[in-house]
């Protein structure tokens, strides 16, 4: 989704910092971008459609040469990468947007839900609109209120009229002030050791090279930054808020590609270690969550996309290991189930980013009813973390490729631990996971990648790929389809193996690739029969399995990890999806139309 970056401070190259910051936010997904710099009495604004790519500060200087004498002592610059919602992908619609007389310039993530009503009001007052966005209304509205008040008060008044979920940063022509506000979309303030230097961004890696000291803006909070420092306030009550400074422990390198060509393959390979980290949970907390599940009247695992498929796997794990039913609902569907919920309901939210709007909405629903929230999260500093009663951290480190890989297997590991803890067998679960982690470590070697590469070569021009699984591996068949779709752009669909004969088998024709996810468990003979049904109709069978089978045209070996088979079976599909993306000349880190964290509903 959109990315926001702002700089406030003494450095002489503010736009260079902003452009660099926007590049670090590229992984979020975007289709246009723009920057604005406050000069002594005006703004320099530049916007473009497409990716920032190699665009640099020197390119900008060719467009508008900037000399230091044009700039105030305190430099203020903002930038934005836009993922279109209201209005097409055009330069006009790209941010920053400015007000009628260019008094106010701003960037915005999220959606102003009542923008049409405000727009009508402003049109009647003589304002004209340059863009089709919802964003532009706020710029004009602030300027309108600046006729009767100063910038800060005008922003407060304008925001009190805006409905929706958003993060917004605003600057004014006449004041050395940066204002940011959030309701539903992330904004983090970075504070440098240097006196009076601040960064604001949608995500920490954007400014991590300058500072690891951050302050999180919570919902309904705003920050006003000027030469006297940063003041935090509640947007509704205007009461002062004291913000803790948190020191981030990530290393800059963790959020960089290093020797790898793409984040996606780096993050796939990191699974050699990330599983060990995920397993290293506080036993006390795991037992506390298990107890909460036992005493809840209904436990609902909630997630979206890949995280939703992890929730579905948890349903099988809980049934198989803990002999207990849990409910699974995708975040966007949760509110339609609220009639079944009470203050005794428990929501377990699974999310990499902790910022997914659909999952956050589910949390709002359960909180209103008085229910409890546990989160399985990679981003421990996210909105979701702050809304949860208990957080189980994934500890996978920053995941920047849009396609989730290492966070997924970490989430699966934590769900497995929980299922074992339900029947007081946490030790057994831990041992199994440690064995699995060490087998993944052995598996992820260059020979393994080469073996999958040969398969990628064979199927790179396929129009359709089908994936089948049963039991624990049925949700992973669905997840495999997501992985393949999002980065290779090949049509891929996952099915429960037994469902094929009820319709989808009609899709199979000569040489259609069909991946069978096989586990050495009670589902094995049946999934192999389902694979045979596909093969008999001309399908090309790719078996991901601990053992070879006659039905396989291509076999990818995975270790036999018992109840951890979903964890090991998904990894070769992640590699396959990555390789297909590269072969088809797609950018696996930033697939078209997608965003890393989906902060709109
Ligand atoms: O950050 P979250 O885990 O809440 O994100 C949920 C989905 O948007 C995410 O898993 C998405 O499906 C991934 N791009 C899939 O790889």
pLDDT band at 67 (very low <50, low <70, confident <90, very high): confident
pLDDT band at 110 (very low <50, low <70, confident <90, very high): confident
Tell me the per-residue pLDDT of 149-169, one tens digit each, with 9 for 90 and over: 999 999 999 999 999 889 999
Q: Would you state the pLDDT for residue 335?
A: 92
Render the burial of 34-67: b for 16+ CB within 10 Å, e for the rest. bbbbbbeeebbbbbebebbeebebeebeeeeebe
The number of the ligand 1 atom at minimal distance from the alpha carbon of 483 is: 16
What average pLDDT does the segment 390-416 reach?
95
Distance 217 CA to ligand 1 centre (A): 23
CB 260: neighbour CB atoms within 10 A? 14
Q: Would you state the pLDDT for residue 237?
A: 93
Q: Is 311 a catalytic residue?
A: no
CB-defined site of ligand 1, < 6 Å: 304-307, 351-353, 356, 359, 402-404, 482, 486, 597-598
Burial class (CB in 10 A: 0-12, 13-18, 19+), 295: exposed
Distance 473 CA to ligand 1 centre (A): 19
Give all domains of the chain, ordered by start, each with its CATH number.
Answer: 3-254 (3.60.20.10), 259-443 (3.40.50.10490), 445-587 (3.40.50.10490)
Percent of the chain past pLDDT 70, that is, above it, reads: 99
Distance 204 CA to ligand 1 centre (A): 18
258 sits in the region (left: phi over 0; alpha: psi -120 to 50; else beta) called: left
Q: Quick one: which H or E segment has residue 546?
A: none
Q: Whose CA is nearest to atom 8 of ligand 1?
A: 305
The number of the ligand 1 atom at minimal distance from the alpha carbon of 402 is: 14
Tell me the per-residue pLDDT of 439-490, one tens digit each, with 9 for 90 and over: 999 999 999 999 999 999 999 999 999 999 999 999 999 999 999 999 999 9
Q: Whose CA is nearest to atom 16 of ligand 1?
A: 403
Distance 301 CA to ligand 1 centre (A): 15
Rounded to the nearest angstrom, the gap between the alpha carbon of residue 500 and the centroid of all alpha carbons in its chain is 32
For residue 495, what are the β-bridge partners?
468
Q: Is 415 a catalytic residue?
A: no
Q: Is the pLDDT of residue 249 over 80?
A: no
Active-site entry in 23, 102, 596, 601: 596
Tell me the per-residue pLDDT of 302-323, one tens digit each, with 9 for 90 and over: 999 999 999 999 999 999 999 9
Contacts of 522 (CB under 8 A, 6+ apart): 471
Q: Would you state the pLDDT for residue 475?
A: 98
Angle between helical axes of 406-422 and 426-443 (0-180°, round to 10)? 160
pLDDT band at 77 (very low <50, low <70, confident <90, very high): very high
Q: Would you state the pLDDT for residue 29?
A: 75
What average pLDDT does the segment 256-270 reach?
93
Q: Would you state the pLDDT for residue 406?
A: 97
**Mutational pocket test of ligand 1: of 83, 262, 307, the residue with most ligand atoms within 8 Å of the beta carbon:** 307
Percent of the chain past pLDDT 90, that is, above it, reads: 78
Q: Would you state the pLDDT for residue 70?
A: 82
Q: Are 109 and 169 in contact (CB under 8 A)?
A: no
Tell me the per-residue pLDDT of 332-379, one tens digit each, with 9 for 90 and over: 999 999 888 999 999 999 999 999 999 999 999 999 999 999 999 998
Q: Would you state the pLDDT for residue 194?
A: 64
The number of the ligand 1 atom at minimal distance from the alpha carbon of 379 is: 1
Distance 321 CA to ligand 1 centre (A): 26
Burial class (CB in 10 A: 0-12, 13-18, 19+), 554: middle
What average pLDDT does the segment 250-275 reach?
88
Give dist(CA 222, CA 530) in Å, integer: 57
Question: Token digits for 29?
Answer: 């997904």
Give dist(CA 418, CA 465) in Å, integer: 33
Q: Whose CA is nearest to atom 4 of ligand 1?
A: 351
User: Average model confidence (pLDDT) for the chain?
Assistant: 93
For residue 48, what are the β-bridge partners?
33
Q: Would you state the pLDDT for residue 592?
A: 87
Alpha helices in 26-107 (DSSP H): 57-63
Give dist(CA 124, CA 169) in Å, integer: 26
CB 247: neighbour CB atoms within 10 A? 8
**Mutational pocket test of ligand 1: of 311, 312, 356, the residue with most ligand atoms within 8 Å of the beta carbon:** 356
Q: Would you state the pLDDT for residue 193?
A: 67
Q: Is the pLDDT of residue 382 over 80?
A: yes
Q: Would you state the pLDDT for residue 196?
A: 84
Q: Is the pLDDT of residue 28 over 80?
A: no
Q: Would you state the pLDDT for residue 195?
A: 67
Q: Whose CA is nearest to atom 11 of ligand 1?
A: 305
Distance 110 CA to ligand 1 centre (A): 17
Kindly report the pTM of this predicted structure: 0.79
Q: Is the pLDDT of residue 256 over 90?
A: no
């Amino acid at each position: 989704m959109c990315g926001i970056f702002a700089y406030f401070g003494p450095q002489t190259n503010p736009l260079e910092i902003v452009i660099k910051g926007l590049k670090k936010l590229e992984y979020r997904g975007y289709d246009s971008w723009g920057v604005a710099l406050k000069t002594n009495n005006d703004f320099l604004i530049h916007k473009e459609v497409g990716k920032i790519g190699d665009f640099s500060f020197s390119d900008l200087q060719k467009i508008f040469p900037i000399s230091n004498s044009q700039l105030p002592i305190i430099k203020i610059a903002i930038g934005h990468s836009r993922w279109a919602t209201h209005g097409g992908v055009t330069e006009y619609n790209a941010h920053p947007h400015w007000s009628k007389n260019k008094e106010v310039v701003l960037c915005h993530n999220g959606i102003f839900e009542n923008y049409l009503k405000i727009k009508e009001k402003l049109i009647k007052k003589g304002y004209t609109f340059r863009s089709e966005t919802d964003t532009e209304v706020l710029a004009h509205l602030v300027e309108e209120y600046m006729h009767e008040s100063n910038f800060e008060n005008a922003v407060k008044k304008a925001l009190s009229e805006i409905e929706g979920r958003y993060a917004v940063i605003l600057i004014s022509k006449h004041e050395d002030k940066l204002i940011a506000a959030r309701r539903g979309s992330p904004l983090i303030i970075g504070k440098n050791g240097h006196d009076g230097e601040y960064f604001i961004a949608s995500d920490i890696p954007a400014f991590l090279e300058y500072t690891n000291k951050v302050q999180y803006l919570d919902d309904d909070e705003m920050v006003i930054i000027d030469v006297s420092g940063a003041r935090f306030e509640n947007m509704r009550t205007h009461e002062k808020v004291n913000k803790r400074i948190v020191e981030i422990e990530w290393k800059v390198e963790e959020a960089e590609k290093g020797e790898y060509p793409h984040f996606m393959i780096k993050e796939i390979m990191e699974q050699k270690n990330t599983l060990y980290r995920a397993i290293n949970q506080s036993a006390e907390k795991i037992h506390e969550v298990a107890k909460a599940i036992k005493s809840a009247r209904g436990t609902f695992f909630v997630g979206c996309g890949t995280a939703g498929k992890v929730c579905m796997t948890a349903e099988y794990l809980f049934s198989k290991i803990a002999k207990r039913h849990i409910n699974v609902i995708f975040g966007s569907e949760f509110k339609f189930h609220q009639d079944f919920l009470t203050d005794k309901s428990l929501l377990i939210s699974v999310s990499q980013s902790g910022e997914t709007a659909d999952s956050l909405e589910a949390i709002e629903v359960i909180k209103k009813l008085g229910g409890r929230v546990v989160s399985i999260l990679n981003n421990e500093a996210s909105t979701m973390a702050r809304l949860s009663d208990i957080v189980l951290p994934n500890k996978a480190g920053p995941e920047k490729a849009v396609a989730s890989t290492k966070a997924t297997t970490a989430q699966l590991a934590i769900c497995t631990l929980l299922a074992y803890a339900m029947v007081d067998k946490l030790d057994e679960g831990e041992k199994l996971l440690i064995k699995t982690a060490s087998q993944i470590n052995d598996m992820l070697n260059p020979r393994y990648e080469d073996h999958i590469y040969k398969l990628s070569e064979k199927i790179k021009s396929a129009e359709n790929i089908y994936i089948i699984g049963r039991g624990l591996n049925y949700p992973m068949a669905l997840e495999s389809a997501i992985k393949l779709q999002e980065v290779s752009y090949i049509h891929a669909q996952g099915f429960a193996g037994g469902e094929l004969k009820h319709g989808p088998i009609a899709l199979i024709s000569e040489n259609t690739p069909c991946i069978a996810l096989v586990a050495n468990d009670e589902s094995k003979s049946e999934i192999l029969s389902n694979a045979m049904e596909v093969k008999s109709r001309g399908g090309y069978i790719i078996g991901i399995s601990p053992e070879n089978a006659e039905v396989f045209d291509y076999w990818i070996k995975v270790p036999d990890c018992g109840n951890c088979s979903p964890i090991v079976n998904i990894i070769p599909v992640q590699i396959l999806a990555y390789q297909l993306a590269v072969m088809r000349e797609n950018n696996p880190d930033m697939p078209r139309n997608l965003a890393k964290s989906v902060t709109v509903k």
